Structure 1
Amino acid sequence: MEVRIGINQSARELSFETDASAEELSSLIQAAPTGLVSLTDSKGRTFLVNRESITYVELGSDTSRKVGFVS
């Protein structure tokens, strides 16, 4: 699933792929107290995001995109 997180006072957004479900990510971010939220992508990298700096979270679909040509 693709995740995009908007950060306050930043022109860029944090974008990564993860194996977690939308429900897991949503509950993790909403339940986090003030401080850092730890998120891990599908490659094993860990991102620490200040909970108070998150302006939006966009969670992509769980389905993978099809590759190829349509005839």
Structure 2
Amino acid sequence: MEIKIGVRSVNREIVLESDLTAEEVEQELRNALAADRGVFSLTDVKGTRYVVPVASLGFVELGEGETRSVGFGGSL
């Protein structure tokens, strides 16, 4: 699943691929929002961990991952 995280005062969003379901990501977000000075953290499919203080969260967008083809399309 593709996840986009918007961080306040940062022009670029964080985009990552995760094996979690939308429900699991939403539960992680709810847990982070419920904690005092909580942090929202996720690990992508490559093992990179992203940690964002919930006070800095702008948005979290959940979507289906894109299937990308390998190779070159078209003819020469």
TM interval, shorter chain, is: 0.7 to 0.9
Match of 1:53 among 53, 56, 63: 56
CA RMSD after TM alignment: 1.9
| Percent identity of equivalent pairs | 37
Query: What residue ranges of structure 2 are gaps of 5+ in the alignment?
Result: none
| Alignment gaps of 5+ in structure 1 | none
- Per-residue CA shift, 1:1-47, capped at 9, x if unaligned? 10000000111111110101100001101121233222100001111
Alignment: residue pair count:
68
Instruction: State which structure, 1 or 2, has the greater radius of gyration over its C-alpha atoms.
Output: 2
TM-score, normalising length: structure 1: 0.81
Instruction: Report how far residue 59 of structure 1 moved.
Output: 0.4
